[in-house]
Chains A and B, each alone.
Chain A
Amino acid sequence: MNVSKSYGKLNVIEHLNFDVAEGEMVSIIGPSGSGKTTVLRTLMTLETINDGVIYVEGKPLTHMAKGGVLVPADERYLRRMRTSIGMCFQSFNLFPHMTALQNCMEGPVQVLGLSKKEARERSEELLHMVGMIDKRGQHPSRLSGGQQQRVAIARALAMRPKVMLFDEVTSALDPEVIGEVTNVIRKLVTEHNLTMLMVTHQMGFARDISDRVCFFYGGKIEEQGTPHELFGSPQRERTKQFLSAVKEAV
């Protein structure tokens, strides 16, 4: 609600009001520096916000109620709220000293307190879902980018989040392996009732799977709508420019 974020004097997000419904799949597109990634990072509480409050499921995420007023949340409160959010990164960020399976089990065992057996079952099921069960014993250094990203998705899902954030998850991948990652996300959309927010440069993919597409410009939502509306008949000049520039690049 009315969120602002700045790095020094640079305003990355300006008075942003942005709502995502439960189970909705929202894609965020826009030129670099438009604040797309920052939106996801503030939701994951990797960045603090300077102004405004973020709510998740009606409860404040960035702030907590203290004596009737909202104050910035402390680490304990954040840890409780963070359980409902998961995130995948552009650079995968798998733990290099653990195998694919250990990467997935780490959170459930250490954070959720599951038994090793339960965590293993849950992780193997997810690795199976992302098509990585055969590589469960491999360390990340032995996996391709697309394979690492699929393990990273399984790792995030193993925490059973209600909201998943995908931050340019295909940007670091070779063109021929992008499909294996997008297919996993596609599967999540059709088979699970997750709320998803995805920052992406894959316009075709965003168009295919989103319920809503938001075009960011200068830290604000310049235009948003269904994929059909936004890609089919964009209203704003900047949106048109951006979409035609992207089309030319392809």
Chain B
Amino acid sequence: MNFDWSWTLTWEIMPRLLWATANTLLAAGAGYAIALVGGLIFALAQRAAFGPIRWAVREFVEFIRSTPLVLQIFFVFYVAPQFGIQLSPWTSGLLAIGLHYSAYLSEVYRGGLEAVPRGQWEACRAINMSARDTYFRIIIPQALVPAVPGMGNYLVGILKDTPMLSVIGVMELMHAANSIGSEHYRYLEPFTLVGLIFFLISLPTAGLVKLLERRLRLGLGL
């Protein structure tokens, strides 16, 4: 076993890896944006007045949480075309990862919504607020604060799951490192750098989430 780190190769592959980093960030960011909205829809649907909707969404969320992300990505990319839905790797990937994390975030939102005291709902009723205003002006702002730490965890989680998109050919970090490795017959440098890049992104994200939580608490006067 010999350990020789090639700086020449490091500098040579750096631009490609940085380009792939941008793709990774884009995938994580766009996937997370889908999950933020999708998760809220799932969480609210599970409180719908109509029983069958509650049940269907509940089961759907459970199903997504109980099956592997990779399978869901394959499903959207390879199986959906059989039903006439042809999507690019990027679209399929974002859809799958966004949906997957929607299911997880809906649970975080649900916990936040349940943490809002019943008295808040009753106060809304006593001033005759509409259901929509009750949710969007009173309940959700309060539910968000306890939900932020959980939401932050899944932001780091989605970032670390973006390599799964390489299986359908999305040119993110892992995919780029793998190609570099097979072109140069060297894996040490690309994979080490990928690890380092992920670490350098994840670490400050966690700190930023903490900061956001504190800001939010202050901003809402809680």
Kindly identify, within residues 81 to 98 of chain A, every residue whose CB is under 8 Å from any CB belonging to chain B.
82-83, 85-87, 89, 91-98
Using an 8 Å CB-CB cutoff, how does the interface string of B114-147 with A read, 1 for contact, 0 for none? 0001011011011111110100011001100000
Band of interface residues on A = 20 to 34
**Residue ranges of B at the interface with A (Cβ–Cβ < 8 Å):** 117, 119-120, 122-123, 125-131, 133, 137-138, 141-142, 220-222
Q: Which residues of A contact B133 (CB under 8 A)?
A: 110-111
The reply to whether A96 and B220 form a contact with Cβ atoms under 8 Å apart is yes
20 interchain pairs (CB within 8 A)? A44-B125, A46-B122, A82-B125, A83-B128, A86-B127, A89-B119, A89-B123, A89-B126, A93-B117, A93-B119, A93-B123, A95-B138, A96-B220, A96-B222, A97-B222, A98-B221, A111-B128, A142-B221, A156-B126, A159-B127
The reply to whether A106 and B125 form a contact with Cβ atoms under 8 Å apart is no
Find B221's partner among A86, A96, A107, A155 (CB 8 Å cutoff): A96
Q: Which residues of B contact A87 (CB under 8 A)?
A: 126
Decide yes or no whether A79 CB sits under 8 A from chain B: yes
Q: Which residues of A contact B128 (CB under 8 A)?
A: 79, 82-83, 107, 111, 159
The reply to whether B141 and A93 form a contact with Cβ atoms under 8 Å apart is no
The reply to whether B123 and A94 form a contact with Cβ atoms under 8 Å apart is yes
Decide yes or no whether A99 CB sits under 8 A from chain B: yes
Question: Taking the nearest CB of chain B, how far is it from the CB of A172, in angstroms?
Answer: 11
A141/B221 contact (C-beta < 8 A), A95-B138, A106-B137 known: yes
Most buried by A among B120, B127, B142: B127
Decide yes or no whether A45 CB sits under 8 A from chain B: yes
CA of A93 to CA of B141 in the docked complex: distance in angstroms?
A: 15
Count of A-B contacts judged by CB separation below 8 Å: 71
The reply to whether B127 and A45 form a contact with Cβ atoms under 8 Å apart is no
The reply to whether A79 and B123 form a contact with Cβ atoms under 8 Å apart is no
Additional A-B contacts beyond A44-B126, A91-B117, A97-B221 (14; CB < 8 A): A45-B125, A86-B127, A89-B119, A93-B126, A95-B138, A96-B142, A97-B220, A106-B129, A106-B137, A107-B129, A110-B133, A111-B127, A139-B221, A139-B222
Looking at chain A's contact residues, the main secondary structure is loop
The reply to whether B122 and A93 form a contact with Cβ atoms under 8 Å apart is yes
CA of A140 to CA of B119 in the docked complex: distance in angstroms?
A: 14
Find A89's partner among B122, B129, B131, B137 (CB 8 Å cutoff): B122
A86/B126 contact (C-beta < 8 A), A95-B138, A139-B221, A141-B222 known: yes
